[in-house]
Structure 1
Amino acid sequence: MTMSYQTGFLNHFASEAVPGALPEGRNSPQKPAFGLYAEQFSTSAFTAPRAENRRSWLYRMRPTTEHGAFKPYSGAERLAAPDGTHTTPNRLRWNPLPMPDGEVDFVDGMVTYGGNGGPSEGGIGIHLYAATASMDARAFQNSDGEMLIVPQQGALLITTELGRMDVPPGHIAVIPKGMRFRLEFTEGAARGYICENFGAPFRLPDLGPIGANGLANPRDFETPAAWFEDRDDNFEVVQKFNGKLWTTMIDHSPFDVVGWHGNSAPYRYDLARFNTIGTVSFDHPDPSIFTVLTSPSDTPGTANCDFVIFPPRWMVGEDTFRPPWFHRNVMSEFMGLIHGEYDAKEGGGFAPGGASLHNQFNGHGPDVDSTAKAMAADLKPHKIDNTLAFMFESRAIIQSTDFAMNGGLLQDDYDACWSGFPKARLP
């Protein structure tokens, strides 16, 4: 399936699926072409500084006002937000989320593992999904937060109001807060991870002394070109609002935007294009060098959420402990594995599709076997290959849900991987 994209991180784009759909010189003309309706989609306050302001103008076949009252949606108990009663300081690790029996789509296949804050105060929600059926006459709208989707198994075709994106494992997709979309699976069943961002929208981190180049480059982010669906049929719109799901019906496809322009848009990114930075002398750089996207907080340098990856890379540091070192830090870390083996957990247990959580100031690092191997290694240049792990990192405690703690996937022996370190022998 061929789709067209526009490149560049949140540039101002203009795209039309039918020539002449976009007006010239005016955002909201009295009579848009072809009888279309002009609608502004804003994901920042109208008065936000120009550099922070995000909005797009959509020219659509019907305005989004045409729907009945939303009613509570039943059957999504697994999306319940954490209430604090299941949160512990313990290090946690989960087996992969199994595929459901029968036909289950993305909306019903999501389950919440943890999070902090909420739509009114910032923070994040962390969900996994496992689904077997594509969405058809159904759309999902998250009015609580921006959604960063990390496929682990099965390619996705994401249809949004502004166009379509194919997103296989190894890519990510970001859907703006409030935008309607649907997920179809082009390879059968699918599984992956979601970071729901209640805070400032994800952006590229500043590079500081790194300079002008490195990490994720703006030109590698792709926004879809306009595409629309002229379909008169009964469609369900499921909306996440204030932590709960709501539903309503409309009599047409919500993906009827014929043209759009602006800088509030969905985008995808191929993680293989990340330009990894590392030492070429000694010592171990901080894992912040692996940051793809960041959602800043009101404390400079301390993120509401960082999205960090651990991709294939060369290790060449001399007299250096090469795996992630033992550490306790202010950030809470939720990790997932897309494929391969994570270099700090080579003894099994951390499987593709699985996850782990290390909350703030609780010690973690490589297991016993990985530590012994790293300390005894002959430090020649070595390439870590055939692996891709990632981390959602937040400044606040990531609180666990009832499903995370009692859903049958939590490993009860995770602490054992750090048992048996030999005591240092002093002279």
Structure 2
Amino acid sequence: MTLGYMPGFGNDFETEALPGALPQGQNSPQRCAYGLYAEQLSGSPFTAPRGTNERSWLYRLRPSVRHTSRFRRIEMPFWKTAPHVVDHGLPLGPLRWDPVPIPAESLTFVTGMRTMTTAGDVYTQVGMAAHVYLATAPMVDEVFFSADGELLVVPETGRLLFATELGRIEVGPGEIAVLPRGLKFRAEPVGGPSRGYVCENYGAKFTLPDRGPIGANCLANPRDFKTPVAWYEEKDTPTRVIVKWCGQFNACEIGHSPLDVVAWHGNYAPYKYDLRTFSPVGAILFDHPDPSIFTVMTAPSGEAGTANIDFVIFPERWMVAEHSFRPPWYHMNIMSEFMGLIYGQYDAKETGFVPGGMSLHNCMLPHGPDKSAFDKASHADLKPVKLTGTMAFMFETRFPQQLTDFAATLPGLQDDYADCWTGLDKNFRADRPVWPDPSETR
């Protein structure tokens, strides 16, 4: 699988599965090679500025108008879309869940989607939804596409192969895949069941954040984002096409596979990224910087510096700051944070937050290290230490995240989560300005 750079950052790609399938010098010739049809897939308005204009030209066996027949409504009862506000009865507060068990029943990437939170409004193309996917079976003679937004897929257990109109992408734990709005694909677990997380982005597409004073290097580098080469399926067997549109699901039957693009060029395409290629930056003298330094991608809003969604990771890294509290500090935030753990241990929550688990801290709800992490960091010998074998992530949005009934009634919802801060009692002593030695008793 030959791969290129990430779309959407000034790149324009071309790839063909048959020699000469791509026309030269024009996009839509009178007659395409091999009897193909020319078709444009647009991910932005036609008149969007050049830097944000996204489109790809596809050369395919049949045009997409042949991918629809008489649609019928179908139900996906566990896949919810904003606005989705239910009276689940839970009071406001920080929340944390154990991993959702992988079931024995046959579930595809689509039927196994379980929505945890929704935020914003799909009708006005703002906000997001956070899902868990449970894929135990492949999609067979079936494809899916979403008109509601792009899908950021974060595997935690097992691998997934996405066969898309523009090529094939395989991802596993430590990698992500992004499937653009409107792109048809089929998903299948590889070598066993797969579980992971999905951020459904209703708003502007994910892009790399500006680095500002950091300069030209570090964080996520464009060269590490990969797009697939052209691949096509000439398969004239009945296929079901499932479409998600404004939170509704519709399906139709067609007589062939729609994954039939022989060649394409442009900058609107699926891509993958290995999170272990992220180059962290941090303090090398004192203090713990804002977590924004860990932003892999951002989906901008209309307000500068305030994202529709930030996708943030906490990977392996050296901790070297002197005379500093090194874990994330206690804070209240205007953004709402949905976190997951892919593997390892998160340094601010040493127990209770396990791979496959999740937490939610909504707008202006305080959070931070648990008691044991606070004590350990407060009295640690501040030598350089490397955090290894860890990968946590966060879907952070400017909009409040509303719980679904599924999330509110999961058996794995930890009703004692807030107890992790029990014991963070007053240490204040007006007669002792120096922090007490941990061996002292009060």
Q: Normalised by the size of structure 1, how large is the TM-score?
A: 0.97
From 406, 421, 431, give the equivalent of 1:418: 421
Distance 1:8 1:160 in 2: 16
Q: Secondary structure at the match of 1:306?
A: strand
Which residue matches 1:19? Answer: 19
Conserved in 2, the CA contact under 8 Å of 1:100 and 1:131?
Answer: no
Which residue matches 1:6? Answer: 4
Letter of the 1:392 partner, please give it. Answer: F
Counting only pairs closer than 5 Å after superposition, residues 90-105 of structure 1 correspond to structure 2 as 90-105=93-108
Q: Is the counterpart of residue 402 in structure 1 residue 408 in structure 2?
A: no
Q: Is the counterpart of residue 390 in structure 1 residue 393 in structure 2?
A: yes
From 348, 361, 366, give the equivalent of 1:363: 366
> How big is the alpha-carbon RMSD for the aligned residues of Structure 1 and Structure 2?
1.1
Which residue matches 1:285? Answer: 289
Conserved in 2, the CA contact under 8 Å of 1:5 and 1:223?
Answer: yes
Which residue matches 2:192? Answer: 188
Distance 2:210 2:327 in 1: 25
Which residue matches 2:41? Answer: 41
Counting only pairs closer than 5 Å after superposition, residues 335-350 of structure 1 correspond to structure 2 as 335-346=339-350, 348-350=351-353
Q: 1:194, CA displacement in angstroms? A: 0.3
Which residue matches 2:77? Answer: 77
Q: 1:80, CA displacement in angstroms? A: 2.5
Letter of the 2:421 partner, please give it. Answer: W
Q: Is the counterpart of residue 162 in structure 1 residue 166 in structure 2?
A: yes
Q: Report the structure number with the largest CA radius of gyration.
A: 2
Letter of the 1:160 partner, please give it. Answer: T
Which residue matches 2:267? Answer: 263
Conserved in 2, the CA contact under 8 Å of 1:340 and 1:388?
Answer: yes
Which residue matches 1:63? Answer: 63
Q: Secondary structure at the match of 2:217?
A: coil
Distance 1:8 1:358 in 2: 31
Aligned length: 423
Q: 1:88, CA displacement in angstroms? A: 4.8
Which residue matches 1:211? Answer: 215
Moved more, 281-290 or 242-251: 242-251
Distance 1:155 1:99 in 2: 14
Which residue matches 2:298? Answer: 294
Distance 2:388 2:410 in 1: 33
Conserved in 1, the CA contact under 8 Å of 2:86 and 2:405?
Answer: no
Q: Is the counterpart of residue 146 in structure 1 residue 150 in structure 2?
A: yes
Which residue matches 2:31? Answer: 31
Q: Secondary structure at the match of 2:111?
A: helix
Q: 1:85, CA displacement in angstroms? A: 3.0
Conserved in 2, the CA contact under 8 Å of 1:9 and 1:219?
Answer: no
Distance 1:286 1:196 in 2: 25
Conserved in 2, the CA contact under 8 Å of 1:95 and 1:411?
Answer: yes
Q: Secondary structure at the match of 2:325?
A: coil
Q: Secondary structure at the match of 1:417?
A: helix
Letter of the 1:7 partner, please give it. Answer: Y
Distance 1:94 1:236 in 2: 35
Which residue matches 1:327? Answer: 331
Distance 2:428 2:267 in 1: 60
Letter of the 2:85 partner, please give it. Answer: D
Identify if the C-alpha distance between structure 1 residues 160 and 386 changes in structure 2 by more than 3 Å, giving closer, same or farther. Answer: same
Q: 1:97, CA displacement in angstroms? A: 1.1
Unaligned runs of 5+ in 1: none
Distance 1:214 1:68 in 2: 48
Q: 1:102, CA displacement in angstroms? A: 2.3
Conserved in 1, the CA contact under 8 Å of 2:7 and 2:269?
Answer: no
Q: 1:9, CA displacement in angstroms? A: 4.3
Q: 1:103, CA displacement in angstroms? A: 1.6
Which residue matches 2:434? Answer: none
Distance 1:206 1:85 in 2: 39
Letter of the 2:21 partner, please give it. Answer: A
Distance 2:54 2:401 in 1: 28
Q: 1:48, CA displacement in angstroms? A: 0.6
Conserved in 1, the CA contact under 8 Å of 2:174 and 2:276?
Answer: yes
Distance 2:177 2:91 in 1: 31
Conserved in 1, the CA contact under 8 Å of 2:153 and 2:197?
Answer: yes
Q: 1:119, CA displacement in angstroms? A: 2.4
Distance 1:104 1:201 in 2: 28
Distance 1:333 1:388 in 2: 16
Identify if the C-alpha distance between structure 1 residues 88 and 214 changes in structure 2 by more than 3 Å, giving closer, same or farther. Answer: farther
Distance 2:244 2:344 in 1: 34
Distance 1:203 1:170 in 2: 19
Identify if the C-alpha distance between structure 1 residues 88 and 48 changes in structure 2 by more than 3 Å, giving closer, same or farther. Answer: farther
Q: 1:422, CA displacement in angstroms? A: 2.5
Conserved in 2, the CA contact under 8 Å of 1:147 and 1:197?
Answer: yes
Letter of the 1:362 partner, please give it. Answer: L
Conserved in 1, the CA contact under 8 Å of 2:6 and 2:271?
Answer: no
Q: 1:118, CA displacement in angstroms? A: 2.6
Distance 2:93 2:410 in 1: 17
Moved more, 102-111 or 273-282: 102-111
From 218, 221, 225, give the equivalent of 1:221: 225
Which residue matches 1:274? Answer: 278
Letter of the 2:70 partner, please give it. Answer: A
